Homo-oligomer: A and B are copies of this chain.
Amino acid sequence: MANLSQLMENEVFMAFASYTTIVLSKMMFMSTATAFYRLTRKVFANPEDCAGFGKGENAKKYLRTDDRVERVRRAHLNDLENIVPFLGIGLLYSLSGPDLSTAILHFRLFVGARIYHTIAYLTPLPQPNRAFAFFIGYGVTLSMASRLLKSKLYL
The listed residue (B4, B30, B82) touching A7 by CB distance below 8 A is B4
Copies of the protein in its oligomer: 3
A5: Cβ under 8 A from any B Cβ:
yes
The listed residue (B70, B76, B153) touching A81 by CB distance below 8 A is B76
Return chain B residues, CB-CB under 8 Å to A2.
Answer: 3, 6
For chain A, residues 76 to 132, give those with C-beta under 8 angstroms from any C-beta of chain B.
76-77, 80-85, 87-89, 91-92, 95-97, 108, 121, 124-127, 130
Return chain B residues, CB-CB under 8 Å to A14.
Answer: 152, 154
Can you list 7 A-B pairs with a CB-CB distance of less than 8 A?
A17-B96, A17-B148, A18-B154, A24-B85, A24-B89, A48-B126, A77-B77
